[in-house]
Amino acid sequence: MKRTKSIPPEGRDQDPTTFAEILQHMLWLEPRATAAVFIDGEGETVDYASGLPNYYTKVAAAYLRVVIDDIASARSLLRGPLAQAIIAARHRSFYVHPLGDGYALVLVLRRWALHVSARAVALTNCRLAKEAGWDGPAEETLPWHPAEVETQPAHRFRPFQVKTGDAWEQVEVLGSVVGLARERERGYRCRLQGGAEITLVREVTGIWFADQPPRGLSARLGPESQTTSSEPSTASLRPSTPGART
């Protein structure tokens, strides 16, 4: 899926901050989004990454601030605090995720897009919280981490090697993970050359995630594995047949 350019057609109208880098990475991890905006409690844009015109990006984000405030005030519609909302409009969809101190993450999505990567949102929220000085989990403790994966030429969904730090390392596919939360996701349990095991998941957008930080995980570390996962406990491992499409 084609990724969004982070520069508006007329160029940025404010100097980028570290928040802009975080938001740009969000767009990289979620190709269905065309803009990512970090807004305050008044709907003002703190920073953004967008391939859309500046005016549209900021006005859309400000309007979404009004929308989520209206939703949050409709207590009959909610059983607790608003966690997230997706609004489908005629030409675009919008995603809103409330953050601390009245701030929020707003995504402008492509038309009819009704899903957002929960893994990408969790990582972005963690990084925004750290930069803003809020309490939050350490990035290393998250259950999923972005991974750079190259697939086999004959099987474009099957991992061949993964980038561990500055180097690529071939992996042995042990089996396919079934019972993932989203349809059309593909998961694989893999072994690195030194014996370490890692689970790789390819989301429907083509973005890969690993169940532990790939950076620094190399053959010299020896066998190691994490069992933490945000997927349902019903997920299981199906033995893999060499050379077969999974």
pLDDT by residue (tens digit) across 158-175? 999 999 888 899 999 999
Q: Which residue has the higher pLDDT, 198 or 232?
A: 198
Is it the case that residue 103 has pLDDT exceeding 80?
A: yes
The mean-pLDDT minimum among 76-85, 191-200, 213-222, 236-245 falls in: 236-245
- Residue 211 confidence (pLDDT) above 80: yes
What letter does residue 127 receive in the DSSP assignment? H
Tens digits of per-residue pLDDT, 214-232? 876 654 444 443 333 334 3
Which residues does 98 contact at the CB level (< 8 Å), separation at least 6?
68, 72, 81, 82, 83, 84, 104
Q: Return d(Cα 160, Cα 196) in angstroms, integer.
A: 15
The answer to whether 218 touches 167, Cβ cutoff 8 Å, is yes
Residue 156 reports pLDDT greater than 60:
yes
Residue 167: HSE in the Cβ half-sphere, 13 Å Cα cutoff: 10
The reported pLDDT for the residue numbered 131 is 95
Integer Cα distance of 152 and 205 in angstroms: 18
Report how far residue 203's alpha carbon sits from residue 93's, in angstroms, rounded to the nearest whole number: 20
C-alpha to C-alpha distance for 148 and 217, rounded to whole angstroms: 13
Distance in angstroms (rounded) separating the CA atoms of residues 22 and 89: 26
If you search the block for the tokens 């500055």, which residue do you land on? 166
- Closest alpha carbon to 52 in 30, 67, 33: 33
CB contact at 8 A, 194 and 218: yes
What does the pLDDT average to over 165-188?
A: 87
**What CATH number matches the domain at 18-141, 3.60.70.12, 3.30.420.40, 3.30.450.30, 3.40.50.300?**
3.30.450.30
pLDDT greater than 70 at residue 53: yes
Domain boundaries, the chain: 18-141, 145-239
Interval 59-71 mean pLDDT: 89
Average pLDDT, the chain: 83
Q: Name the residue among 118, 146, 122 with its Cα closest to residue 136.
A: 122
Residue 112 token pair:
């009819």
Of 224 and 70, which is predicted with more confidence? 70
Distance in angstroms (rounded) separating the CA atoms of residues 226 and 68: 37
Q: Is 144 exposed, middle or buried (0-12, 13-18, 19+ CB in 10 A)?
A: buried
